[in-house]
Structure 1
Amino acid sequence: MREVDEAVRQDELSNFMDKYGKPLIAAIVLGLAAFAGYLYWDAQQEAAMEKDSETLISAMDQLEANNFDTANSTLEQLIAEGGGGAKAASQMLQGGIAQQQGKPAEAAERFAAIAADGDAPQTLRDLATVREVAATFDLRTPADVVARLSAIAVPENAYFGSAGEMVAIAYLEQGKRAEAGALLAQIAQADDVPESLRSRARQLAGVLGVDAIEDVDEVLEELEADGDTAAPATE
């Protein structure tokens, strides 16, 4: 019986291999080839990221040394060869260079290119939009400022404070004091907004008759701390 049982199993295995052996082997080979291809692609991506990082660091070193022309040339090379985050970061640095050189229109053009780049990370696109509007704020109509920044001027966005302040100013220019005051109060009460911006928003909201203070004791402590810091040392 054991010999018969073994013969039956061998026969079943032989039939299975005759029927499915070649497709199964082909599937295994294709799977191994795909996995090897993924490993190669991942290694190439990592090498490209390392190269882009080195180029960015080199450009930043040149900026610190005030070698703007050299830094721009380095960044142009990265923009031409790179993509995604590296390209957007390079364009962001170029926009900063243009601002330092007193070229707001060129800076805004650089930032606008990032904001319109679908391959760039959304966080960088939002930052580029904020900086584009800030660079040309005086040249824009209040309605245009609101239209460009309204989606960013929300508490969930990382750039809520900066975008919200510009939208609030645009509201004031439109005569919408209630909307401006409400938005400034939100900024003043946001924990993740820089304290200098919160303080400015709190003061503007107060001028508009909006109480933006949640914790009076906390605000008093902050004012006392600022006063101690600003007080001149005496002997």
Structure 2
Amino acid sequence: MALAPGETSETFIREVDENLRRDQAEAVFKRYGKWFAAAAILLLIAVGAYLFWKNQQAERAAEGSEQFAAILTDVGTGKTGTDIDQRLDALAKDSTGSLSGAARLTSAAVALQKSDRAAAIAQYRQVMDDGDVPQAVRDTATIRLTQLEFDSLQPQQVIDRLQPLAVKDSAWYGSAGELTALAMIKANRRREAGVLLASIAAAKDVPAPIRGRAEQLASTLSIPAAPAAVPPAPAAR
């Protein structure tokens, strides 16, 4: 085949190669074009479904928050009847995460207001052991459960349960530390309790009422101070 004027063999080969690739692409599209189109449509449907699901989740969360706020308002005005229990139970079942946990914690608090200690303990225990709620909610349930069960638990049980929370970098250091110190006193570990209470009283991040109680309780413990240093005897002249 003769080359066109000004056309080199390299240019000719490249054009032939491009034509061949175009013919191959057209053949592939004719054969698989419908599948490509179907895959693209399915991808669009999947993306749309995901965005719709996210939007629904956000709307449900907003709706649940409004319901919870309304319940808290009613509880604040002294309403603790069956209607409140049913609304809290429904919210806990229809929600997830923090909102579900908060609804269950509120159910326990309402049970205590009605002097139903057993129901409150059972609710706090379920939240404490529920790995599907955030750790902060579980920690709250742990503190409240331990307060209610303190008199029926062995001191070491209290200490072991609260050990992860009775540390300085914990948001619950004051409450968990105070309960731990009381358990130590109950176990006749007064020196350890005094050291812990003194630390709580000096912790600026701990709420003032807890710091005040810790300071007062520490002062009631007779913890010997370190012996004073004896000054050296004057040198004989």
TM-score range for the pair, normalised by the shorter chain length: 0.7 to 0.9
| Conserved 8 A contact 1:189-1:198 | yes
CA contact (8 A) 1:145 1:170 kept: yes
Quick one: percent identity of the two aligned structures?
32
| Alignment of structure 1 residues 37-48 onto 2, 5 Å | 37-48=49-60
Return the match for 1:129 from 124, 137, 142: 142
Counterpart in the other structure of 1:218: none
Q: Which residue of 2 aligns with 1:66?
A: 78
2:138, 2:25 → 1: CA distance? 57
CA contact (8 A) 2:61 2:95 kept: no
- Which residues of structure 2 form unaligned runs of 5+? 1-6, 226-237
Q: How many angstroms apart in 1 are the aligned matches of 2:22 and 2:208?
A: 74
Richer in helix (by share): 1
Q: Between Structure 1 and Structure 2, whose CA radius of gyration is higher?
A: 2
The change in CA–CA distance for 1:15 and 1:191 in structure 2 (over 3 A counts) is farther
Letter in 1 for 2:72: M
CA pair 176-18 structure 1, distance change in 2 beyond 3 A: farther
**1:92/1:110 contact within 8 Å kept:** yes
Q: Distance in 2 between matches of 1:99 and 1:109?
A: 11
Aligned match of 1:9: 18
Query: Within the alignment, does 1:95 sit opposite 2:108 as a pair?
Result: yes
Q: Which one of 42, 45, 48 corresponds to residue 36 of structure 1?
A: 48
User: Pairwise mapping of residues 136-175 of structure 1 onto structure 2 (< 5 A)?
Assistant: 136-175=149-188
Q: CA deviation at 1:10?
A: 4.8
Q: CA deviation at 1:51?
A: 2.0
Contact 1:75 1:94 survives alignment (8 Å):
yes
Query: What residue identity is the alignment partner of 2:122?
Result: E
Task: Provide the residue aligned with 1:51 in structure 2.
Answer: 63
Is residue 189 from structure 1 mapped to residue 202 from structure 2 by the alignment? yes
> Counterparts of 1:88 and 1:107 in 2: how far apart (Å)?
14
What is the Cα deviation at residue 66 of structure 1?
A: 1.4
- Do the aligned partners of residues 149 and 28 (structure 1) sit closer, same or farther apart at CA in structure 2, a change above 3 Å counting? same
Partners of 2:53 and 2:37 lie apart in 1 by 24
Per-residue deviation, 1:147? 2.0
2:19 and 2:129 mapped to 1: Cα distance?
A: 65
2:178 maps to a residue whose letter is: E
- Change in CA separation of 1:175 and 1:31 when aligned onto 2, cut-off 3 Å: same
- What letter is aligned with 1:100? Q
What is the deviation of 1:139?
Answer: 2.2
For structure 1, which runs of at least 5 residues remain unmatched after alignment? 212-235
Query: For 2:39 and 2:15, how far apart are their aligned partners in 1?
Result: 28
Number of corresponding residues: 211
Show CA shifts across 1:96-128 (max 9, x none). 112222232221111111111111111000000
Aligned-pair Cα RMSD in Å: 2.7
More deviation, 183-192/112-121: 183-192
Taking a change above 3 Å as real, the CA distance of residues 19 and 109 of structure 1, as seen in their structure-2 partners, is same
Q: Secondary structure of the equivalent of 1:163? A: helix
